Structure 1
């Protein structure tokens, strides 16, 4: 009985994408969600031919974010980054398609919005730049704790979105944010018009 259930589960949730497809994790950060940019961000990925296979609106814990940004743990901005990313809800998404990681990075643009080209998400939509620092004491007394994320020096990690920077990172990040059953396998009617098999 259990073997039949497991076989059915495996069939329903098995990876049916072509072998040349990639997946990438994209996160709409708290600033992007607060500024109502979710529709704009999704539209840009769809317009480039990528396919959404998973999405969730969550407010991540600091512990979860520390796992996600583990490679940055020795950076001076690590604590502020985790604090900011856990300050409000985010939308975590998985997109798939040919060269999804590279295309995703091209759509998003350079990490620092000042370096991001026009036409990219960060080049068009970001407002603030620079790393978030503590700032002068008088500044915090003026704005109060409620607006602590409106740093005097602004913040380079308030750049609307996060995107995986390599195929390996994408796999690790997707496994961290999603269970296999949360990845929805579906095929668009325009699939053959958008993608071409490398062997054809």
Structure 2
């Protein structure tokens, strides 16, 4: 009897250990490379950034490419975020994009955080719009977004799409007015994963599934830090 109880206890310990160690989700599920813009690494300190453009190598800026203009990668302090972030108007409106391997006919959700530019002085420019599109999907028509609230008030945004090819291109394009100078939207923490329950009834509709997107005002609560 004692031996049986010991065996049951050991089995329960093994099962419990397995439950504790099993990850809730895998980072490998994210199709986006360099999704927190950790490369290039930017020196610490106030008002620090690195410039990336069309000639920047994939080794220095993996996954992403700049097809127009210049993007500035801010360090955490300058971005006012727990990760580095991309300013998509580094002097002029820029286009930042990444090719993603997908399965044709499958539904995916792109998620990211946005904020007004956090560089000193940019808080005076209230209009810092940008667009998002996914070439090779049913969301090739650009969707418009506009961060509001205080700089550094990062808000969650999302876009659901159905892939129409085995490779799609996620594109962020700054639409800030020329009068803004270098001030434009900040993009952080970009994630693309298969849409929830896509293989169980193809749940949900493609398109913008965040009720306060498409140029509407964001809530002004502080970033949750997710």
Structure with the higher helix share, 1 or 2:
1
- Shorter-chain TM-score: what band? under 0.3
Q: Which has the larger radius of gyration?
A: 2
Q: TM-score, normalised to structure 2's length?
A: 0.21
- Which gives a bigger RCO, structure 1 or 2 (Cα 8 Å, sep 6+)? 1
Give TM-score, length-normalised by structure 1. Answer: 0.23
